[in-house]
């Protein structure tokens, strides 16, 4: 008797589900509905096309595509061809795209023709050894000097006369890198978190276990695939054989709710911004949401009043409050039955994960005392791409040789039951619209504006977006710009969530006794001015 073992590689799980459920819908994106057999075939075709184009094992492949079926096919095709997937946010502009391409040493960029302007800006500024694969209307593909380019359709067509079942794809093992996920950090530049196939599969298994997913689950995902919370919805679905519905945005919530009703969605991952919009809607009763088994939230805590309202409106839905970070994907979750008895908690460690709250010496602190959260388990990633110093600071030796513990930089306390409560972040990161915004990155862009000589950025609480960005600047006297002109300059060089909502021009930035900018004072100023803005618009 031959024993059957679970797959160990991310893309193998898709093939396993294609064997088990060939005619079942795997992916629904816009009007296109892919069965597992069709999707697996498309992934194999793209993998073959990439190999024919010169992709070799460990090569990095950047996608710049958004929530599309081509993005899913590109990621899984790159993995099957032995490559490493990097999903760039569709909202980023040329400076950050250039950084990701250079830092990762990417060999391939698969991108939408609608992003030709940003790609051309990158290539005008930097000579990159890069092959470009364009997705979309051939007539809109730009002619690029010194760049190898072809269409996604042509790459897929390479395999038309080939029996893909007999193609010798590269041998990949589970300690090979599967993903580089770029995330904001304290250095001011995005950092690539290295995730092996083993890390990804292990983290996904643990989440599937506590969510009790099965092949009947139908997940509606409005979160960007560049965000690991969104990406893992796809990875997990293909592992348990469910169906994933990809939406490009959550801005048209009536259409989302209509789809939940029509498609009998069982799972809806959310964030506070989505919840705030949902609870402001009228006529919620027009939609039947009884098919929804659970909602999950991570990225930022849901306000207590939102939780209460959600539970009142949808008492049959299990609401999971969770906490995680890219460096280990997920840390903990609060079982839905604990929401009333432990408000504010992000819960307990997920299966196959161990946590501790420690002091500056790495010793565990008593319940109720604040310390840094540490994480141990196979979900702990490998470190930061090309940054050994930062890796050694965050990923430290454990209790025995080869054991590694992640020091998260986030501060928590635990209660007497071992449940975790978030206290604050070490890094100067602002959560806005569900995205992590590094203030140093925003300040760097502001300082490229010719008139700006100093800049400081703070987050101001906002009911809809969690926080919004306020920028304080000092300008030269000869040709100062109006605040709206500075915001326009920011719009050209950064993603929408990072663009300051308000720009305030000052004669001097407040400093503390150490000569550093006093951001607490700036936050107080922003909050006072915000109150005035609210009053003046009332």
Domain-located, residue 194: no
Domain end (from 366, 394, 425): 425
Which of 384, 404, 425 is the endpoint of a domain? 425
DSSP string, 91-113: T--HHHHHHHHHHHT-SEEEEEG
Residues 267 and 383 in one domain: yes
- Range list of H helices, 188-227: 197-211
Q: Are residues 117 and 221 in the same domain?
A: no
Domain hosting residue 128, numbered range: 10-17+34-172
Q: What is the pTM of this model?
A: 0.86
One domain, residues 242 and 147: no
User: How far is Cα of residue 208 from the mean position of the Cα atoms in its chain?
Assistant: 18
Q: Indicate whether 265 and 126 sit together in one domain.
A: no
**CB-CB contact of 445 with 495 (8 Å):** no
Supply the CATH number for residue 74's domain: 3.40.50.980
Q: Is residue 280 part of a domain?
A: yes
From the number of C-beta atoms within 10 Å of its C-beta (0-12, 13-18, 19+), residue 264 rates as: middle
Shared domain for 398 and 436, answered yes or no, is: no
Task: Please choose, from the candidates 314, 331, 234, 321, the residue with its C-alpha nearest in 3D space to the C-alpha of residue 278.
Answer: 314
- 178 located within any domain: no
- Tell me how far apart the alpha carbons of residues 156 and 392 are, in angstroms, rounded to a whole number: 41
- Burial environment of residue 138 by CB neighbours within 10 A (0 to 12, 13 to 18, 19 or more): exposed
pLDDT at 295: 98
Same-domain check for residues 514 and 457: yes
Adjacency order of strands within the sheet including 452-462 = 452-462, 466-475, 502-505
Residue that terminates a domain, selected from 390, 425, 460: 425
From the number of C-beta atoms within 10 Å of its C-beta (0-12, 13-18, 19+), residue 309 rates as middle
Indicate whether 186 belongs to any domain: no
How many residues are listed for the chain in this entry?
Answer: 538
117 belongs to a structural domain: yes
Angle formed at CA 487 by CA 482 and CA 490, multiple of 5 degrees: 135
**pLDDT tens, position by position, 496-520:** 889 999 999 998 888 754 446 788 8
Sign of the Cα pseudo-torsion (23, 24, 27, 29, in order):
positive
Residues 417 and 437 in one domain: no
**pLDDT score, position 533:** 66
Do residues 265 and 352 both lie within one domain? yes
Whether residues 249 and 389 share a domain: the answer is yes
Tell the burial category of 280 from Cβ atoms under 10 Å away from its Cβ (0-12, 13-18, 19+): exposed
How many domains is the chain built from?
A: 3
Structural domain includes residue 445? yes
pLDDT in tens, 124-175: 998 899 999 999 998 888 888 767 899 999 999 999 989 999 999 999 999 9
Asked if residue 3 belongs to a domain, the reply is no
Q: Would you state the pLDDT for residue 538?
A: 34
User: What's the pLDDT at 143?
Assistant: 82
Within a domain: residue 504? yes
- If asked whether residues 435 and 404 sit together in one domain, one would say no
Q: Does 504 lie in the same domain as 402?
A: no
Residue-level pLDDT at 537: 37
Asked whether 359 and 335 are in contact (CB, 8 A), the reply is no
Q: Which of 47, 76, 100 minimizes the C-alpha distance to 197?
A: 76
**DSSP result, 259-313:** HHHHHT--EEEE-HHHHHHHHT-S-GGGS--TT--EEEE-SSPPPHHHHHHHHHH
The enclosing domain of 285 has a CATH number of 3.40.50.12780
CATH code, domain with 447: 3.30.300.30
Residues 359 and 401 in one domain: yes
* Segments of the chain scoring below 50 in pLDDT: 186, 513-515, 534-538
């Amino acid at each position: 008797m031959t024993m059957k073992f679970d797959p160990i590689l991310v893309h193998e799980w898709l093939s396993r589900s294609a064997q088990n459920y060939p005619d079942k819908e795997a992916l629904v994106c816009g009007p296109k509905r892919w069965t597992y057999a069709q999707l697996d075939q498309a992934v194999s075709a793209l993998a073959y096309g990439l190999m024919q184009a010169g992709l070799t094992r460990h090569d990095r492949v950047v996608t710049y595509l958004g929530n599309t079926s081509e993005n899913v096919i590109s990621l899984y095709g790159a993995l099957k061809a032995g490559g490493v997937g990097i999903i760039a946010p569709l909202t980023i502009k040329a400076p950050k795209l250039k950084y990701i391409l250079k830092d990762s040493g990417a060999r391939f960029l698969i991108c939408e023709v609608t992003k030709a302007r940003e790609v051309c800006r990158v290539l005008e500024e930097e000579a990159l050894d890069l092959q470009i694969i364009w997705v979309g209307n051939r007539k809109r593909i730009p002619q690029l000097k010194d760049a190898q380019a072809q269409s996604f359709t042509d790459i897929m067509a390479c395999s038309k006369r080939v029996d893909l079942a007999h193609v010798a794809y590269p041998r990949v093992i589970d300690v090979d890198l599967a993903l580089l996920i770029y995330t904001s950090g304290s250095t001011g530049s995005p950092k690539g978190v290295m995730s092996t196939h083993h890390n990804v599969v292990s983290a996904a298994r643990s989440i599937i276990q506590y969510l009790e997913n099965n092949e009947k689950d139908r997940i509606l995902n409005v979160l960007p695939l560049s965000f690991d919370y969104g990406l893992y919805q796809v990875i997990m679905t293909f592992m348990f054989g469910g169906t994933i519905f990809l939406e490009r945005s959550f801005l048209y919530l009536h259409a989302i709710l209509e789809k939940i009703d029509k498609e009998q969605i069982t799972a809806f991952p959310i964030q506070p911004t989505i919840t705030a919009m949902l609870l402001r809607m009228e006529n919620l009763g027009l939609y039947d949401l009884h098919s929804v088994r659970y909602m999950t939230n991570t990225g930022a805590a849901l306000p207590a009043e939102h939780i209460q309202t959600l539970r009142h409106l949808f008492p049959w839905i299990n609401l999971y409050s969770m906490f995680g970070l890219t460096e280990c994907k997920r840390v903990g979750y609060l079982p839905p039955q604990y929401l009333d008895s432990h408000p504010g908690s992000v819960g307990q460690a997920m299966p196959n994960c161990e946590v501790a709250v420690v002091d500056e010496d790495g010793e565990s602190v008593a319940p109720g005392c604040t310390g840094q959260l540490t994480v141990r388990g196979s979900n702990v990633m490998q470190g930061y791409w090309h940054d050994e110093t930062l890796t050694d600071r965050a990923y430290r030796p454990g209790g025995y040789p080869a054991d590694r513990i992640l020091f998260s930089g986030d501060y928590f306390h635990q209660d007497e039951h071992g449940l975790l409560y978030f206290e604050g972040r070490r890094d100067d990161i602002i959560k806005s619209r569900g995205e992590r915004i590094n203030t140093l990155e925003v300040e760097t862009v502001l300082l490229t504006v010719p008139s700006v000589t100093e800049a400081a950025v703070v987050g101001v609480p906002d009911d809809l977006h969690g926080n919004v960005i306020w920028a304080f600047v000092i300008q030269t006297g000869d040709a100062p710009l109006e605040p709206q002109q500075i915001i326009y300059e920011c719009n050209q060089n950064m993603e929408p969530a990072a663009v300051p909502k308000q720009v305030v021009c000052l004669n001097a930035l407040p400093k503390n006794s150490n000569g550093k900018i006093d951001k607490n004072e700036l936050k107080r100023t922003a909050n006072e001015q915000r109150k005035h803005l609210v009053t003046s618009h009332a």
